[in-house]
Amino acid sequence: MYNGHAKQTWQEIDMDKKEILAESQKAGKGMDLADLDAQKKGAYLSYFIVGFLLLVFIGINWLFYKRVSYELLATFCAGAGVAFFYKFAILRKKHELVVAITWTVLALLSLTSYILQLCGVFKF
């Protein structure tokens, strides 16, 4: 059926690692791995840039208005929490769940602080 082995079953076909790698490269699988690696590095870089800009904006708000931008913190923490919950759903690693819960708790605390700030409970 496949590769001219009409009477052989898949268990009878013995391919070594080099043959499997060669077949994979012929099929263009290397491009898929490169795409995944680029997406992963791009996501990490974007989180770094967003985090850096977040700190800059929080610093500017504190410098000129003497207030902390809890809404920005809540948004960033919620995004990170969702990303780690997704990683946990796929990988099922306990560490990812712990990190996701931590980010989510920080997002909820920041959101609560923002609401209290809007209500005038505290000024900063």
Is pLDDT of 1 > 60?
no
Q: What are 48-60's pLDDT values in tens digits?
A: 999 999 999 999 9
For 66-96, give one letter per residue: b (16+ CB within 10 A) or e: eebbbebbbbbbbebbebbbebbeeeeeeeb
Cut 0.75: pTM above it: no
Q: What are 16-46's pLDDT values in tens digits?
A: 667 766 776 666 555 567 777 888 898 889 9
The mean pLDDT value of the chain amounts to 83
